[in-house]
Amino acid sequence: MGKRNTIVVSSSSGEDKEDSTWSSRGNRSANSNLKSSKRSTNSKGAKKKARLVGLKSRTDSSVSDQLTLFCEDFDERFNGIKVPAGSLKNAHKQLWVDKYKPRSLDDLAVHKKKVEEVKMWFHERLRPCKDDCLNQVLIVTGQAGTGKSATIQTIASHLGAKVCEWNTPTPTLWQEHMHMSSSGLRYTSKLDEFENFVDRMRKYGSNSFIEGQSNSLSILMIDDLPPANGKLASGRLLNSLRLLVQSASIPTVIVVTDYGRADLPESSGRWLEELQSSLESAGACKVTFNPATTNSIKRVLSRICSQENCRATNEQIELIAKLSGGDIRHAISSLQYFSLKLDTVCYPSLISNNPSTYEKLISDEGNNRCLMPMGRDETLSLFHALGKFLHNKREAGAAFVSDQDAFVLNEKFARLPLKMDAPEKILFQAPEQARPITDFLHENVLDFLNDEAIDDSWTVAAYLSEADTLLASPNGFIFRNHEAENLSQSVAASVATRGVLFGNSCPVSSRWHSIRRPKLWQVDKSSSWNKHDLLKQRLDLREACSLPNSTVIATEYMPTLKRLNYAEATAPWTTMQDKQSGEDECDAMSIHGDERVESEDEIEDW
Amino acid sequence: MLWVDQHRPKTLDKMIVHQDVAQNLKKLVTEQDCPHLLFYGPSGSGKKTLIMALLRQMFGPGADKVKAENKTWKVDAGSRTIDIDLTTLSSTHHVELNPSDAGFQDRYIVQEIIKEMAKNRPIDTKGKKGFKVLVLNEVDKLSREAQHSLRRTMEKYSSSCRLILCCNSSSKVTEAIRSRCLNVRINSPSVEEIVKVLETIAKKEGLQLPPGFAARIAEKSNRSLRRAILSLETCRVQQYPFTPNQAISPMDWEEYIFEITSDIMKEQSPKRLFQVRGKIYELLINCIPPEIILKRLLYELLRKLDAELKHEVCHWAAYYEHRMRLGQKAIFHIEAFIAKFMSIYKTFLISTFG
């Protein structure tokens, strides 16, 4: 069983890279799994693995899912049309992402300094005379597609080191499980596999995985962590990682993909952060990769273009680079898809030899983002959305011009047009629910009102009150119908945001504002705590003969008791609430832990 | 021990106020089987005292030996089990609880407890199966579902348990429940009655009450007997011997709301509104119910207000009080009311004084 670890020995010199396999990334890694069976000692385990791989066409991460979709799309396109003679003829067998994998350090679209940093780290560890005090673990984090794995691979090949990869195993499907259990193979959890692997790594060192050549330099790369859900599983993962950090004997790189905050539920995002900081405290080194800059992506793209004889203009490349959001893999795939599109869509105009219409077509297409199928969905963080609503930017001066037909709006109700998308659209982009949005608006809106504008603050407060009423389920009924609930939620969010936008009739000129976390949440919590406390105190205090009502205790008994100087027995409210608020600050009760976030500049950017 | 608890009449015969009700109740339980009862009336009128005395009348001194316990009830709700924490007060003959403390899970708790009570019924001296009494407080705060399930359980288990319900307003109790109970309305004691009670207590405590002082306390108490007795005790601590025009201090939260109103009257701006919000949060943290905050706020504002504004302000207070009951977070609505008041008041000031 123990031999089933998916350790892959792939020589990084790049000779395999020319394999013309028509596969997505997920399959590619599976293929290298196959390859490893030829080389690694544990051929028995690898054989099992091979069978496994044969079954698994499903890819493991969402990124590769996307790519698979792309591939299907490619297939369709390729089957549907005759490929025009020329450049694509020989190349279409392979995805550009694989074909143009960086070979040298210069190819990398990662910032020079980062590359240098990682390189130095390896240098120090791979020197013949090692300092023992150096910790052997490096954590590389960054968003998807920023070239984390590629950098490691490239540097390793630059230094002439071997990379052993531990790939996150693909999840087992139910059918596979059924199939395998019939063949007598028992299911092991991926986490178990990982723990097992780490254990062996510690006990027997890297030699248990890598054949012979112990004198050659080798690097262990853990490409993404096995999935761990729930406290228990993540605790185990963390433990085994810490063990690895403390005891690694060869340079080990742990690649952690940083999912955008918006993509994940808050808790798991925070968990990843915790994991990283805990590993760091255990002695690991950490390097964060920033999203690739538009310029470096452009550089890569134009290099590919020139090699592929692709006729994308500079503007188009720039647009693709921008839309990719710093994800270079995405950008390259987009370029490949885009160059396909060029040929299919614009083929007629090319034939007619009319460059101007061609240009026009292209630029039309380029300008209209909706036509670009490969743009990433933009997401807004909660604070960006809030900033938009609170700052309430409007077109300056441009008076509201109404049609003759439209009824004339009373001046009192007329507002300048908004300098943003419709609030609903922004809400749609922001991942948050209606309730937190409303709470945040309520907490912060008064800061953004003019000092004199008490009427406005009433308008805003009135709309927020409406929104709250909408948010409450009628008569304490729990909605049985989710559609109805969703509708009332989105209506409430809409009322709250539009209310805030409309109510603030003369927004103050923008200046720096911090956005506070709603105090309301803390208040709710302490209040229910105190209520509990009160009841208990009351029951303790007297020879209870009747169950008191909390309202009466709070409004009548407690104040009297305080007056009567029973202060020792019953904590006065100030101390009680101090204690409470102290506790609350430690509690993770907020969706965004930090109380003061996002400076004005950041809000301005959007 | 507070005087309110110490001097609470233990038996129906010792009642000073509501003597007629007490006598009728006594007749009811001695002559025949007791029906379900629903006591309703304003706070501080003596409902609880009557109920305690009634229980004693029914079961003898055993009903006084109560113990409080905080129990977690495991309720089987269809597909899953729910754990509900609830404090109950029980003797061998009765159980008392505030089902509304369970929040939106209140409907399960009522059913579950009644079922359990029905299972272990006490056996009386004649070997006959007796019944237990379940005292439910704050029935008016129960959700509709809970009241509905309460009605069913009442019918099903009526042989093994009697319910005594207690609430402030019977209008929030469903018709179905009201018709299954004997409704007993407990009025607020009159000022004279309160004075009488205060004098009795003073006599027991050996205090000298100056003439008119008890009457003043009674007036201030808003006809709540509990409030009056608590005030008397406070005054005793603050200054004794009493003087006829001794200050009777309001509760601290009332003083705090007074402060808030003067803040509101002094300045009307978003900034001030924000400060006021902080103060209201303070009150909410200390479990002062939002309805009471709004009510008191209105009361204090009206005292300082010009007559021509009163109507409009009252209208908006009622409007937002209704909103508050429909909505979820009270602060949104209280704040909207304050903002509206500020807006009205500022317009008024500008039009009057330019």
Claim to verify: residue B49 and residue B127 sit in the same structural domain: yes
Q: Which one is predicted more confidently, A318 or A62?
A: A318
Q: Is A556 on the interface with B (CB under 8 A)?
A: yes
Interface of B with A in 157-186 (CB under 8 A): none
pLDDT at A153: 82
Q: What is the 3-state secondary structure (H, E, C) of A539-582?
A: HHHCCCCCCCCHHHHHHHHHHHHHHCCCCCCCCCHHHHHHHHHH
Q: Which of B177, B206, B238 is the last residue of a domain?
A: B238
Helix (H) or strand (E) holding B262: helix B252-266
**A301 and A280 share a domain?**
no
3-state secondary structure A58-106: CCCCHHHHHHHHHHHHHHHHHHHCCCCCCCHHHHCCCCHHHHCCCCCHH
Q: Between chains, do B268 and A461 touch, taking CB under 8 Å as contact?
A: no
Quickly state the pLDDT bin for B265 (edges 50, 70, 90).
Answer: very high
Contacting residues of A for B343, CB less than 8 Å apart? 454-455, 457-458
Tell me which chain B residues have a C-beta less than 8 angstroms from the C-beta of A507: none
User: Count of A–B CB contacts within 8 Å?
Assistant: 191
Give the domain extent around A192: 111-171+187-291
- Residue A357 pLDDT grade (very low, low, confident, very high; cuts 50, 70, 90): very low
What is the interface pTM, i.e. ipTM, of the complex? 0.84
Helix axes A314-323, A294-308, angle to 10 degrees: 130
Contacts of residue B270 in chain A, CB cutoff 8 Å? 446, 449-451, 453-454, 456-457
Mean pLDDT of B40-61: 88
> Chain A residues with CB inside 8 Å of B48's CB?
546
DSSP annotation of A162: E
Q: What band does A74 get if pLDDT is binned at 50, 70 and 90?
A: very low
Cβ-defined contact of A523 to B281 (cutoff 8 Å): yes
Contact at CB, A577 and B285, closer than 8 angstroms:
yes
Average pLDDT (B63-79) is: 75
In chain A, residues with a C-beta closer than 8 Å to the C-beta of B339 are: 454, 457-458, 460-462
Of A446, A476, A535, nearest to B104 by CB-CB distance is: A476
In angstroms, the CA B300 to CA B341 distance is 13
The 10s digit of each residue's pLDDT in A269-317 is 667 777 778 888 877 788 888 777 778 888 888 888 888 777 777 777 7
Q: Which of A105-114, A160-169, A361-370 has the lowest mean pLDDT?
A: A361-370
Q: In the numeric block, which tokens belong to residue B325?
A: 């009951």
Look at residue B124 in the predicted model and tell me its pLDDT: 58
Per-residue model confidence as pLDDT tens digits over A199-247: 777 777 655 555 544 456 777 787 767 766 667 777 888 888 888 777 7
Cα distance between residue B144 and residue A477, in whole Å: 9
Q: How confident is the model at residue A118 (pLDDT cuts 50, 70, 90)?
A: confident
In chain A, what residues touch B346 (CB-CB under 8 Å)?
454-455
Instruction: Give chain B positions within 8 Å (CB) of A523.
Output: 281, 284-285, 331
What is the C-alpha separation between A319 and A160, in angstroms, rounded? 37
Same-domain status, B176 and B323: no
Q: Nearest Cβ partner of A455 from B227, B230, B343?
A: B343
pTM of this prediction? 0.63
Confidence category of residue B287, pLDDT binned at 50, 70, 90: confident
B336 interfaces chain A, CB cutoff of 8 Å: yes
**Same domain? B170 vs B127:** yes
Do B277 and B228 share a domain, yes or no? no
Which of A13, A48, A17 has the alpha carbon at shortest distance from A32?
A17
Instruction: Tell whether A325 is covered by a domain.
Output: yes
A91 touches chain B (CB under 8 A): no
Q: How confident is the model at residue A150 (pLDDT cuts 50, 70, 90)?
A: confident
The mean pLDDT value for B260-276 works out to 92
H/E element holding B136? Answer: strand B132-136
Q: How far away is chain A from the Cα of B37, in angstroms, using its nearest Cα? A: 17
Do B102 and B180 share a structural domain?
yes
Query: Is the pLDDT higher at B123 or at B338?
Result: B338
- A231 within domain boundaries: yes
Q: How many domains does chain B have?
A: 3
Residue A34 has pLDDT above 90, yes or no: no
Whether residue A574 lies within 8 A of chain B, CB to CB, comes out as no
Please say which residue of B238, B261, B277 terminates a domain. Answer: B238
Residue B20 has pLDDT above 70, yes or no: yes
- Same domain membership, residue A273 and residue A161: yes
* Same domain assignment for residues A285 and A318: no
Give the distance between the most distant pair of CA atoms in chain B: 84
CA distances from A150 to A17, A321, B138 (A): 12, 18, 67
CATH number, domain of B299, equals 1.20.272.10
Closest Cα in chain A, distance from residue B301 (Å) = 17
With CA atoms as reference, report the closest residue to A505 among B354, B309, B345, B343. B343
Q: Has residue A47 got a pLDDT over 60?
A: no
Give the domain range for residue B211.
Answer: 191-238
Taking contacts as CB-CB distances below 8 angstroms, the residues of chain A near B96 are 546-547
β-strands A285-289, B161-167 pairing:
unpaired
Q: Which residues pair with A138 in a beta bridge?
A: A253, A285
Nearest by CB to A534, from B270, B287, B346: name it. B287
Residues A230 and A130 in one domain: yes
Question: Which of the residue ranges A227-231, A314-318, B121-125, B211-215 would you say has the lowest mean pLDDT?
Answer: B121-125
- Are residues B296 and B177 part of one domain? no
pLDDT at B185 over 50: yes
Return the ∠ at Cα A122 (arms to A195 and A215), rounded to 5°.
75
Among B252, B289, B320, select the one facing A562 at the smallest CB separation. B252
Q: Do A527 and B284 touch (CB under 8 A)?
A: yes
| Between B99 and B323, the higher pLDDT residue | B323
Whether residues B43 and B173 share a domain: the answer is yes
Where is average pLDDT lowest: A71-75, A172-176, A560-564, B287-291?
A71-75
Among B185, B202, B226, identify where a domain stops.
B185
Looking up tokens 């083929």 gives: A347
Whether chain B has a CB inside 8 Å of the CB on A563: the answer is yes
Q: Are strands B67-77 and B80-90 parallel, antiparallel or unpaired?
A: antiparallel
**pLDDT over 90 for what percent of chain A?**
1
Query: What's the CA dihedral at A76, A81, A87, A89 to 10 degrees?
Result: 70
Q: Which of B5, B328, B342 shows the shortest C-beta gap to A471?
A: B328
Residue A277's pLDDT is what?
81
Q: Is the pLDDT of residue A41 over 50?
A: no
Q: How far is A506 from chain B (nearest CA, A)?
A: 13
Q: Which pLDDT belongs to residue B340? A: 94
A349 lies in a domain? no
Among A290-294, B231-235, B252-256, B318-322, name the most confident range: B318-322
Closest-CA residue of B relative to A441 is B332
Average pLDDT over all residues of chain B: 85
Q: How far is A438 from chain B (nearest CA, A)?
A: 10
For B134, the token pair is: 């379940």
Nearest-by-Cβ selection for A472 from B89, B320, B328: B328
Q: How far is A383 from chain B (nearest CA, A)?
A: 21
Q: Is A382 on the interface with B (CB under 8 A)?
A: no
Number of domains into which chain A is organized = 3
The segment with the largest mean pLDDT, out of A1-10, A71-80, A560-569, is: A560-569
Q: What is the mean pLDDT of residues A510-538?
A: 81
pLDDT of residue A121: 82
**For B154-174, what is the mean pLDDT?**
84
Using 50, 70 and 90 to split pLDDT, how confident is the model at A160? Answer: confident
Please judge whether B89 and A547 are an interchain contact, meaning their C-beta atoms are less than 8 angstroms apart. yes
Q: How far apart are CA A493 and CA A472, in angstroms?
A: 12
H or E, element range at A165? strand A162-167
- Say whether both B302 and B268 belong to one domain: yes
Same domain, A457 and A336: no
Predicted confidence band of residue B154 (pLDDT cuts 50, 70, 90): confident
Whether the CB-CB separation of B58 and B133 falls below 8 Å is answered with yes
Cβ <8 Å between B68 and A476: no
pLDDT at B334: 95
Residues B216 and B257 in one domain: no
Same domain? A218 vs A267: yes
Shared-domain flag, residues A274 and A314? no
Whether residue A235 is found in the same domain as residue A269: yes
Q: Please report which confidence band the pLDDT of residue B258 belongs to, taking 50, 70 and 90 as the band edges.
A: very high
The larger pLDDT score, comparing residue B67 to residue A432, is at B67
Q: Is residue A134 part of a domain?
A: yes
Question: For all residues of chain A together, what is the average pLDDT?
Answer: 66
Whether the CB of A582 is below 8 Å from some CB of chain B: the reply is: no
The answer on A120 and A213 residing in a single domain is yes
Alpha helix positions (H), B32-171:
47-59, 106-119, 144-156
d(CA B231, CA B233): 5
**Any CB–CB contact under 8 A between B53 and chain A?**
no
Distance CA B346, CA B264 (A): 10
Long-range contacts of A88-96 (CB under 8 A, 24+ apart): A88/A308, A88/A339, A88/A340, A88/A343, A91/A308, A93/A20, A93/A22, A94/A20, A94/A21, A94/A22, A95/A23, A95/A24, A95/A67, A95/A71, A95/A333, A95/A336, A96/A304, A96/A308, A96/A332, A96/A333, A96/A335, A96/A336
8 Å CB contact of B336 and A563? no
On whether both B103 and B227 belong to a single domain, the answer is no
Q: How far is A422 from chain B (nearest CA, A)?
A: 25
Q: Are residues B151 and B73 in the same domain?
A: yes
Assess A575–B contact: CB distance below 8 Å, yes or no. no
Average pLDDT of the segment spanning A540-564: 71
Q: Same structural domain for residues B84 and B19?
A: yes
Give A110→chain B minimum CA distance, Å. 48
The reply to whether A51 falls in a domain is: no
| Same domain as A311, residue A241 | no
- Best mutation site among B90, B108, B332, B351 for testing chain A: the one with the most A CBs within 10 Å? B332
Considering the domain boundaries, does residue B244 fall inside one? Answer: no
Q: Do A560 and B234 touch (CB under 8 A)?
A: yes
Q: Do A285 and A301 share a domain, yes or no?
A: no
Any B CB within 8 A of A454 CB:
yes
CATH number for B84: 3.40.50.300
Q: Residue B241, preceding bond cis, omega within 30 degrees?
A: yes
Of A110-124, A371-385, A567-581, B203-217, give the lowest mean pLDDT range.
Answer: A567-581
pLDDT the model gives residue A233: 77
**Alpha-carbon distance B353 to nearest alpha carbon in chain A (angstroms):** 17
Q: What is the mean pLDDT of residues A7-20?
A: 41
Do A219 and A325 lie in one domain? The reply is no
> Which tens digits make up the pLDDT trace of B301-334?
999 888 889 999 999 999 999 999 888 889 999 9
